[in-house]
Amino acid sequence: MDIKLDPSRDDLPLMANTSHILVKHYVLDLDVDFESQIIEGTLVLFFESGNRYRKKSSSTEETCQSESDEACKFRMPEPCHVPVTNTRTFSSKMGYNDFAIYGKGEKDTSGKDGNHDNQEQASGISSSKYCCDTGNHGSEDFLLVLDCCDLSVLKVEEVDVAAVPGIEKFTRSPKLTVVSELRNQIVHELVTLPADRWREQLDYYAHCSQAPGCGELLFDTDTWSLQIRKTGAQTATDFPHAIRIRYRTKPQGRSVTWTSDQSGRPCVYTMGSPINNRALFPCQEPPVAMSTWQATVRASASFVVLMSGENSAKPTQLREGCSSWHYYVTMPMPASTFTIAVGPWTEVKPETCSPSDQAAKRSFSPSEADFRCASICGHVEYPCRFQNASAATQEIIPHRVFAPGCLRGACQEMLLQLVSPCLSAAHSVLGTHPFSRLDVLIVPANFPSLGMASPHIVFLSQSTLTGGSHLCGTRLCHEIAHAWFGLAIGARDWTEEWLSEGFATHLEDVFWAKAQQLAPHEAREQQELRACLRWRRLQDELRNSPEPLQVLRNDICLNVGYP
């Protein structure tokens, strides 16, 4: 099923069959080796299949929507050679109505057969013709397809979650005699725990990820995907709901940038574009496939590990010269938002702490959520800050600034002074910050953009430090705006990314005017001038862009990550 693509003409294929089965949680356990420029370790994935694909039973809710058992079986369709332009799939809640919009969504467009109007685009595959995957030899076993590129997959195995001490409380039906069904029921109960049990859920995810394997799974890789099969598992419901993948990245992997910082010391960072995270770990890349994750990363003790996690991780010394860092998230997010940066970063701290800095030091964790807040969100269940009365009044979330040692002075003089007023300005316009904390990192000189926002962390180019407070401030405001538009609320597919960019571009002017404490007429004049400059730049770009690139949902839509 390998696809030959022309990078100058074709879009990256979204191969993961998210219409069949969804990753609900990733557990990564990784080692970073700068000598070999390889990240190596294990990845444990916890799945949930859609209820429309469950086997027939006496329960109406678990009855397959098809009239025949044969219709409940899934075979691997041929991959589509046309770029993906509409990734609609089902919800990550058991209702599976509208998974694409993180907030309140549209009505389900599925028909009687349970398929969406664009199911084939949702998984990046064509449903017009069924065939066996390479080496399947006519078998009708369910095939799990994950987006994967530039990775060496060494082993894939099922995880025996039933062997975890105390896990039996997740067994709703003790009468199950088929061991595989018992394991899958345990995972189902685990992934559907209510939001107020998030800490217990993370702990059990960690314990399950360390459980022994209970049988290797067949797998194959091609340029863009990892395909996994278990003999005899003919539906997504039968397929193991917890699997472990041992793998390593490749030095030339396009999701991982091995380089040196401005002080000449080695570092590595990842960013969601242009190839998303498929060369960092096997995953489901379509932006509608949202999941939570936790990661343990080991590196030399001289390095700092920053990630897009909810917690401000502290290093744990494992042995002399080696430290371990642990991060997690409880808000379901697309895999493309997973970000990591490992390097000899220096934390830039203020010489004296202002009252606002002192107030920002206290972070509100999900365990402190106060659900007495009147607002009701329409997204999947998780410990949401928008329902946290304490978080609603937190104008300035805890934040840190990191940079190479040689840029510490410039960051202290410029960037550090801007973070608090920009965060406060954002809160005055949009209210509760979607994320509990923020790290800002000045990335190496080869970073290809002025900035990139990920949950809990923002990458900024060193160029923002040389353009005065206006350039640094507006760019910081732009990336902060993406916390609401692009992250908390995201596109259904990459062709709709212009929406989040449009909101962030507009709000950077609004935030920056408030951060500067401009008078209303001054703010209006500044915004009008910037709007005029953008309009002229857009006209120039249209004159110099091929016509197909000027149309939404065209044949060469760019599949990039969130800036």
Residue 428 contacts residue 537 (beta carbons within 8 Å): no
User: Residue 161 burial by CB count (10 A; 0-12/13-18/19+): exposed, middle or buried?
Assistant: buried
CB 185 within 8 A of CB 238: no
Q: How far is CA 501 from CA 75, 431, 479, 497, in A?
A: 38, 19, 10, 6
Pure H helices in 192-301? 198-209
By DSSP bridging, strand 213-216 and strand 77-79 are: unpaired
In this structure, the number of other CB atoms found within 10 A of the CB of residue 62 comes to 13
- Give percent helix, percent strand, percent coil of the chain, each to the nearest 5: 30, 25, 45
CA angle 40–44–50, rounded 5-degree value = 145
Residue type, 260: S
Backbone φ, ψ for residue 235 (5° rounding): -130, 170
Q: How far is CA 242 from CA 42, 91, 204, 540, in A?
A: 13, 20, 12, 51
- Inter-CA distances, 551 with 80, 108, 174, 486, 561, Å: 21, 27, 56, 21, 19
67 is catalytic: no
Which residues are paired to 49 by β-bridges? 21
CA distances from 405 to 411, 438, 439, 444 (A): 10, 20, 16, 12
How many CB atoms neighbour CB 19 within 10 A?
29
Separation between Cα atoms, residue 285 and residue 485, nearest integer Å: 19
For residue 433 the two structure tokens come to: 């910050």
Residue positions counted in the chain: 563
Query: CA angle at residue 481 from 256 to 530, to 5 degrees?
Result: 105
Catalytic member of 48, 158, 479, 508: 479
DSSP state letter for 427: H
- Cβ–Cβ under 8 Å, residues 145 and 226: yes
CA distance 307 to 342: 9
CA torsion angle 108 110 112 115 (round to 10):
-150
3-state secondary structure of 266: strand
Helix (H, G, I), strand (E, B) or coil at 420: helix
Q: How far apart are CA 397 and CA 419, in angstroms?
A: 10
Return the HEC string of 143-168.
EEEEECCCEEEEEEEEECHHHCCCHH
Active site residues: 479
